[in-house]
Amino acid sequence: MRALRIALDTTVTEPDLPETGALSAIRDHIGATDTVDQGLYHRRALLHIHGDGRAIGLAQNITARALASAWQGMALYPTHGPVMVTGRAQGGEDASLDDGLAQHAHAVAQTVRETLGSGAHGRPRPTRRP
C-alpha cells in the first residue's frame, strides 16, 4: 500500500505498507507504541499522528502541519513527531495514497524546505554589508 512518511526534518519518504497489518507498520514508522491518532484533512487521505507526541516532547512537524492546513484551507494546530499519510477508502479505512495527493505532499515539503532555507517566516535573510 502506498504511503508517505513525513519526518521532522521535512523529508518525505515512501515506505510500502502491507495491505493487512498496516496500523502496526504505521506505529513502527512513527515510533508509537500505543496510540496513533488519525486526522482527516482531505476526503481521500488520512494522516496518522503519534498519539502521545506532544506529551513525550516530540518536536513539531511543520511539514505535516502545512500539508494538513493546505488540505483544509486554513491554519491548523501543530502535530508532533513523524507523520504517516495514507489514502482513505470510501468506508474510511486506510487505502493506497493516490499519485495526485502524493505529489502535492512532496510539493508542500519542498516549499517548507525552501521557506526554512530563506530565513524566518519566508523572508530572505539580510545581506551583510562591509
Looking up cell 495514497 gives 97
Q: End-to-end distance of the chain based on CA atoms, in angstroms?
A: 55
pLDDT tens column, 21-77:
899 999 999 999 888 999 999 999 999 999 999 999 999 999 999 999 999 999 888
Kindly report which listed range (54-58, 91-95, 109-113, 121-125) carries the lowest average pLDDT score. Answer: 121-125
Pairing of strands 12-13, 3-6: antiparallel
Q: What is the pTM of this model?
A: 0.86
**For residue 13, what pLDDT is reported?**
96
Which residue type occupies 46? L
Backbone angles phi, psi at 25, to 5 degrees: -65, -40
∠ CA 77-81-78, rounded to 5°: 10
* Share above pLDDT 90 across residues of the chain, in percent, rounded to a whole number: 77
Q: What's the pLDDT at 5?
A: 97
Q: How far apart are CA 55 and CA 71, in angstroms?
A: 26
Burial label for 43, CB within 10 Å (0-12, 13-18, 19+), is exposed
